[in-house]
Structure 1
Amino acid sequence: MMSGQSVTIPDDRAFASFKAECLCEEGWSLSYSKGGITVWTQGLEEGKAVHKMKCRMVCKDVPGETMYDVLHDIEYRRKWDSNVIETFDIGKLTVNADVGYYSWKCPKPLRNRDVITLRSWLPIGKDYIIMNYSVKHAKYPPKKDMVRAVSLQTGYMIQSTGPSHCTLTYMAQVDPRGSLPKWVVNKSSHFLAPRAMKKINKACLKYSEWKQRHNPGLKPWLYPEQTTLPNIPLSELSIQHAESLENIDESSLAETHEREDSD
């Protein structure tokens, strides 16, 4: 995915290997399975920097192409994703790759995280892949009040399984920067990931009605000529190495029990 120091745009091989990893069961341990949602984790020992998680959801009443639209539509994300603090596109690299910013709320009392990623996407027959990894951009340095997380490789694979059925696999390989307490890791796989999946599913069911009222024809991820983003030369980007970022130790923080947003 990342060749040495230079930022590269994923090629077909990178998409194929992401897909293979999404489908692979070996080396993953099952940590949650309920109501059509399954979560696997890898290497989540305490003190280990990188967390790998894979989450799969079987969706009825959601066509694969609707799921693809929802995961791309940044305007809509601001509406349904209650974890989002701020998200925006910075610029485009090619017809199927761009750079964007995303910040999100972490469970209290952890500090919130943000990330700058190079995102690329590819429809493969009736399946779709959207994946990203962290990059650095001089105009968007880490902020004082947030922890800059590092996505080593994160993404979604959507498999169309029928005219209005699909399976969504979300896979994240992230360095959250900082030693996270065990409860966060457990909460992520048993509660936060499944809840996020359900939210996506719910968002898909309401999308077509929402989209009819918000630029119904505008889908630059399908029609690249519609994009208004400035072109960014690859030379403006560099790989975001985790070591260069502040490392914070939140491992001793206890969970604060606040009322969770009701879904």
Structure 2
Amino acid sequence: MSVSSILPDEAVFADFRNQCLSTDNWISKYDKSEMEVWVEHPPANRGNHEPKIHKIKCKMTIKDVSAATMYDVLHDGQYRKKWDPAMLDSFDIARLSANADVGYYSWLCPKPIKNRDVVTLRSWQVTDDEYIIVNFSVKHPKYPPRSDIVRAISILTGYFIKPTGPNSCTFIYLSQADPKGSLPKWVVNKASQVLAPRVMKCVHKAGQNYPEWKQQNSPDQKPWLYPEQNTLAMMDPAELLIQRADSLENVDECSKVDAQDSEDSS
């Protein structure tokens, strides 16, 4: 990422792509029914700096949906309301460039855990044979953390999609995210290995149903492919700050959240 801008540059996309395709320093946790799950094992020279929140990677071999359709599903906010059972609220806030925006997403958590939300900068890149979407948490001046929802943090989350045929693709999800609150890190890490494949399967099913749905819902409207269709207001990326997972501010927020979660579970 360049010093002058918060927006991801070519190096960010290249690094994300390499992480998705690399097998070095990744430990296999699951391999069944066209689905593979790994967690990152950082190089030994990182010493005590190893992050407490695992970076997880899921790869699905999809044989009945095109890469282009899966990419559209991930972008189409209207369609997400149809297929995402965990979603509480979701909306785009502003455009940052032709291939970047900032948005809000909140989701339901099982009781007694409080619901979570994120504000993320999302950027995407499309080439002749690959699709990449990356996001990370940012601080937006008009969308501070709410008292009724815990503000989670996406350190790095994204998708890499590569066609393997006209109606098949390799679909990879990579994420390092901290849900914050009072959840023990080992619980977070264990749960992510179970939940990620479920989410992947849900997105796959959404992909299977998307062409028929889209045909009935503004079939030519795809602002993620055609920027001229985007009606969101523009925003200066300089107004945003990266939301660090380990900042002192987040530690303070986390202590408040711990108390909230404890009250919920009492």
- When normalised by structure 1's length, the TM-score is 0.88
1:187 aligns with 2:191: yes
Q: 2:73 aligns with which of 58, 70, 74?
A: 70
Deviation at 1:12, TM superposition (A): 1.1
| Residues 43 and 50, structure 1, Cα contact 8 Å, conserved in 2 | no
Q: Which amino acid aligns with 2:39?
A: T
Q: Which amino acid aligns with 2:58?
A: C
Q: Deviations over 1:93-148 (max 9, x none)?
A: 11100000011122433222111111000012211000011111111010111111
| Counterpart in the other structure of 2:82 | 79
Count of aligned pairs between the two proteins: 248
Q: Which amino acid aligns with 2:153?
A: V
Q: Deviations over 1:221-250 (max 9, x none)?
A: 011000010000122211212321211449
- When normalised by structure 2's length, the TM-score is 0.87
* Structure 1 residues 1-263: aligned runs within 5 Å: 1=1, 8-42=6-40, 49-181=52-184, 182-190=186-194, 192-242=195-245, 243=247, 244-245=249-250, 246-247=253-254, 248-249=257-258
| Residues 121 and 130, structure 1, Cα contact 8 Å, conserved in 2 | yes
Measured in 1, the distance between the counterparts of 2:172 and 2:29 equals: 15
Measured in 2, the distance between the counterparts of 1:29 and 1:74 equals: 33
Give the share of equivalent positions with the same residue, in percent.
52
Measured in 2, the distance between the counterparts of 1:51 and 1:79 equals: 30
Deviation at 1:52, TM superposition (A): 1.1
Measured in 1, the distance between the counterparts of 2:121 and 2:188 equals: 26
Measured in 2, the distance between the counterparts of 1:43 and 1:109 equals: 31
Deviation at 1:43, TM superposition (A): 6.1
Measured in 2, the distance between the counterparts of 1:111 and 1:29 equals: 31
Q: Which ranges of 4 or more aligned residues in structure 1 deviate by more than 3 Å?
A: 181-184
Is there any run of 5+ residues in structure 1 with no aligned partner, and where? 257-263
Measured in 2, the distance between the counterparts of 1:110 and 1:55 equals: 25
Is there any run of 5+ residues in structure 2 with no aligned partner, and where? 43-49
Greater fraction helix? 2
Q: Deviations over 1:178-205 (max 9, x none)?
A: 4533444323212x11111111110001
**CA RMSD of superposed structures (Å):** 2.2
Q: 1:53 to 1:2 in 2, by over 3 A?
A: farther
